[in-house]
Amino acid sequence: MTASILDGIVLGLQFGVLAAGLTLVYGLGGVLNLAYGQIAVVSGLVTLLTMEAGVPAVPAALIGLVAGGALGLIFDLTILQPVYRRHGEARVLLSLLLTLGAAFVIDGYLNWRYPLRGLNLRITGDPLVVFGVRMRMGSVVASGITIVVIGVLYWLFRYTRLGRAIRSVIQDEEGSRLVGIDPQLMMRLILVLSGVLAAIVAITRSMVAPVNVRAGFSLTVLGLIVTVVGGLGSIPGAFLAGLVLGIINSVASSYIGTFLSLIILLVAAAITIVIRPTGLLGVRE
């Protein structure tokens, strides 16, 4: 049991980072990015190809992060431009359609050009004993990186000038414009950040299990489930829901079976939404 819970926490932290990238973009600009998982997969693939070109793993992973951020920027500059001209529900719907289209295009291309390729950053080393449980080195390193990322995000949003600007846009866009903040610029920066977070998820995930080119949609769906449970637009909600669902997923997998874990996650999400329609930490608009 302790082992499953610990595994669940490791997974949950990654769920949280995955969902944070989605929820930030939604909270800031009312845009749901259904190509989010594909951004993660492309970043993983870039890391893989860079390593195959002879670059060591750490710089290759950094190049993967740059690729994720660049993809986010490209989305902002291209297919999201018509989305920004709409408001409210029309904006959400158009963003769903256009990013879903982009997701299919990326998915199709990857499956054709790089079939069955996957990033696998296996980390060798003796297992580490944590709370009496033997953990694989890969899990330990992945969790370490994820915790650092969460810490950096917290610092960024809590204490920096940029973080204050982003929070104010999420809370009241018109108010932020009157204070002198440019919401368009913040949206661009957040899409870059979101791409980097997707890349971090792909890279840390691949330390535990291979992330192949077909993983895009399941990553997006996982991210969406966590985001909805946590409350759309809430970053603390994303991390809380990530932990809860990570533990549920891990415990269910080891006691019932992996084949049912996605269904169990969906049931858990459905129950949360019935009890709290705004999600765990969501605020009704």
* Residues lying near another protein in the complex (CB under 8 A): 159, 161, 164-165, 167-168, 171-172, 174-182
Question: Rounded distance, CA 217 to CA 2, Å?
Answer: 30
The CB-of-175 to another protein minimum distance in angstroms stands at 3
Burial (0-12, 13-18, 19+ Cβ within 10 Å), 159: exposed
Amino acid at site 148: V
Comparison of 102 and 170: residue with beta carbon closer to another protein: 170
Q: Pseudo-torsion of CA 237, 197, 11, 144, nearest 10°?
A: -110
Comparison of 164 and 214: residue with beta carbon closer to another protein: 164
Question: Rounded distance, CA 131 to CA 137, Å?
Answer: 15
The CB-of-276 to another protein minimum distance in angstroms stands at 19
Amino acid at site 99: T
Short-list 15, 31, 39, 280, CA closest to 142: 15
Question: Rounded distance, CA 225 to CA 14, Å?
Answer: 13
Comparison of 80 and 208: residue with beta carbon closer to another protein: 80
Comparison of 135 and 181: residue with beta carbon closer to another protein: 181
Q: Which residues are CB-neighbours of 41 under 8 A, at least 6 positions away?
A: 106, 110, 202, 211, 212, 213, 215, 216, 219
The CB-of-283 to another protein minimum distance in angstroms stands at 9
The CB-of-13 to another protein minimum distance in angstroms stands at 23
Comparison of 86 and 177: residue with beta carbon closer to another protein: 177
The CB-of-154 to another protein minimum distance in angstroms stands at 14
Short-list 19, 34, 47, CA closest to 104: 34
Comparison of 111 and 168: residue with beta carbon closer to another protein: 168
| Token pair for 276 | 């709290």
Q: Are 106 and 43 in contact (CB under 8 A)?
A: no
The CB-of-233 to another protein minimum distance in angstroms stands at 12
Element (H, E) at 76: helix 57-77
Q: Are 284 and 278 in contact (CB under 8 A)?
A: yes
Comparison of 90 and 270: residue with beta carbon closer to another protein: 90
The CB-of-186 to another protein minimum distance in angstroms stands at 10
Comparison of 73 and 181: residue with beta carbon closer to another protein: 181
The CB-of-284 to another protein minimum distance in angstroms stands at 13
Burial (0-12, 13-18, 19+ Cβ within 10 Å), 54: exposed
